[in-house]
Structures are given as structure tokens and as C-alpha cells.
Amino acid sequence: MTNIKKMLGAGLAVATLFGFAACGSSTNTDNKAAESGPVQLTVWSASEDQKAGGWVDTVEKEFQKANPNVKFKNTVVEPPKAAESVKKDAKAAADVYLFPNDQLGDLVKAGAIGQLSDDAVKQVKEQNEDTLVNSVTAQDGNMYGVPYTGNTWFMYYNKAKFSADEVKSLDKMLEKGKVAFDLSNAWYLPGFYLDGNMTLFGEKGSDAKAGMKLGDKAAEVTKYIAKLFANKNFVLDGNSAGLNGLKSGKVDAYFSGSWDAADVKKALGDNYAAAALPTFKTESGEHQIKSFAGSKAVAYNPNSKHPEMAAKFAAFLGSKKSQQIAYEKQGVIPSDKSLADSVKSDPAAVAQMETIAKTSVLQPAIPEMGSFWEPMGNFGKAIANHEVTEANADAKTADFAKGLAGAVK
């Protein structure tokens, strides 16, 4: 186990550098005096984070060693709900909260999330892959939030059935064993289209005017997906069919995220394995399955009574040292790429980090992305219900592409 206290000692010195973006390089005496007096910060996070000896509780105590004037009030508010609550009434919300990055656009629009200082921006860029840096970069080009873990899906498999080389190709896997995939799910289905030139709101996913384009390889991808149902080794996932099949031995591989790691490990035992995403082959050649990726991040509230201290603690809670604690105490896979060696014996952690680095696309976080999910989900259900087939794939895909392009209001 890493010497956490030693790491945190160095980390606290760094954490004191992170200031409030709105203050710039100001050395206003009144502000300094105010922050040296008693400060109470309200922190929203999940219940397991706040229990005695948990991740947030531990980091708060370490932060107080360098900032003894700070007291913390912890309230259990899960990250997705925190973002919703902050947007509704930012002034009554927590000083520091955790949020999924797909809420970023709405939080910025509501004035409910603080812009990072130059030092905090430097921290985020040093710690994370470009995908996760971009996950907390808003349409205005500024950065909000410090990532502490990635959010994506990858592949779990039975290594007694497939070799490490075989899992690089979905087609090879389907020749040898049962593979489950949730084609009717709008978060998973795009994985097949993202390497077929599908673009969502421009190159960086932040240009609403660029719209949603399915791509020129979409029809052949649809044909490939429709053909999967004729393969006896393909299993349609949904309602935990993939995980349950893995447990019963009727499925040899399926696609999910870190939230299923404990159950998969229990089901497969010594044969437990995970990997980044495989390729598949259509009439035009080989394509890479790519998952949507994002982050969970720490934000500070610019409406806080103590925005400078809130910003400082938010940066510290997203630091390398804090992420190490989160992983050791609660199994939260770090986003900090320098921690890759410390998780190399954890198949899910390695798979998640490799997926984000090599086989993922940033999930757009602008409000217009809300127009994507329903039409994509409906198209997936149509494929699963055999309404879209290999024979009519060209026409059905063209209709879908037209509808998707016009879905943004």
C-alpha cells in the first residue's frame, strides 16, 4: 500500500496554491483575513464517501492539518442528484460537490459551478488524459471541475474461454464463445457507429450548430449489427442478461463498467478478466468499437460564502493523493494517469484507463446532447425487434440519420 500520509504531506503544500479563479492573482488583505478566520464548508457526496474513515472523511482531515480553521459539514447527496439540486438553487447548495460531467453545460448555464484557477487547470491537465480534460471544459473554453474518476464502459470476459489476443476482435470472439451486448441501449449502441465517422456537435462535442451526423459508414454498420442476431453466439443484453449469463456460465463476455467489477470477479473467480474494446469488420474494413467516456468531478460553488477555500478544497479532493485514497478505501478507479502502476493488478481499473485513453470518445456535455438519447434508443430497439434488418438497413439507416440530424431544436 502506498504511504498515503507521505503523499498527502506533499500534496497539501501543492493544494494551497489553488485559488479562486474570480480572484485571479489578487492579494486582497480583507480576503486573506476572512479566509484565515473560521470557515465552514458544506460538502455533498455519496454516503460511503462520508462514513468515518471513508474517502472524503479522510481527505477532509488531511486538509484540516494545513487549514485548521476549516470545519466541514457533510451531507449525503449523490453526484447526479447534487447537480440537479445545485442548478435549482445554487445559493442554498453545498460549497463543494461531486458531479457527473454530462451535467456540466447546465451547471455553467445556471451559474452554479466555479471556473478553475490557472493552477487548478494545470493540475487537471497534468493528471488526466485529454478526453477527461475536455470532459470538464465548457463551451466557453474554460474549465470547471476536477476529475477524480472516469466514467465509461469496457469488456469483461472469461479468460478460460478467450485469450488476450482473441479479445481484440469481436468477430474472433463470436467464433469461439457467447458474447452479450445491449444493442437496445442508447449509451452502448453508438459504440459501433463512432468509428464510422459519426460526429456529435463537432470535433470537440461542444459546437451545437454542428449538429449530429451519423456518418458515411452508418449503413454498413447497421447491417453488421443486424447480422449479429443470426449468430448463435450473440446474446442480446439488457435487464442484467449479460451479467446473469456470466454468472450461470451461459455467457463468456459482456460489456459494462466498473460498477459491475465486484460481481463479475465473484462470478468468474480465477478466470476474471477485463479489456479495452475490440474491433469488428464490415464491408469497408475493420472498425474500432468506441465507448462514450466522461468523468465524475469535484466542483466548487461560486455562490459560496468562502469561494476561495471551497476552490482550494475542490482541487485537493481531486488531487492524485486523494484519488489514491479513494481507490484504496473504496475501489474508486482513479482518473490520474500517473496512478496506472498502482492499479495494474486490477483488471477493471486497467481496462477502464486503457479504454479512456485508446478506445473512447468524449460524451458531449452540452444541453443539446439531450436530443440524442431517445432517437438512438428507439433505433436500437428497432434493430433488436428485427424491424431493421440486413435487407432494409440502407433505407432505415438513411431515415434514422435524417431524423437524428433534425432532432436538435
**pLDDT tops 70 at residue 233:** yes
Which domains can be identified in the chain, with CATH numbers?
4-151+293-357 (3.40.190.10), 154-292+362-405 (3.40.190.10)
The mean pLDDT of 102-123, rounded to a whole number, is: 95
Q: Under a CB-based contact definition with an 8 Å cutoff, are residues 75 and 43 in contact?
A: yes
**pLDDT tops 90 at residue 353:** yes
In the prediction, which pLDDT does 50 show?
A: 86
Model confidence band, residue 123 (pLDDT cutoffs 50, 70, 90): very high
pLDDT digits (tens, 9 = 90+) for 14-66: 444 443 344 433 333 334 444 678 999 999 999 888 888 899 999 999 999 99
The Cα–Cα gap between 264 and 339 comes to: 23
| pTM summary value | 0.87
Mean pLDDT (the chain, rounded): 91
**pLDDT tops 50 at residue 309:** yes
In the prediction, which pLDDT does 48 show?
A: 87
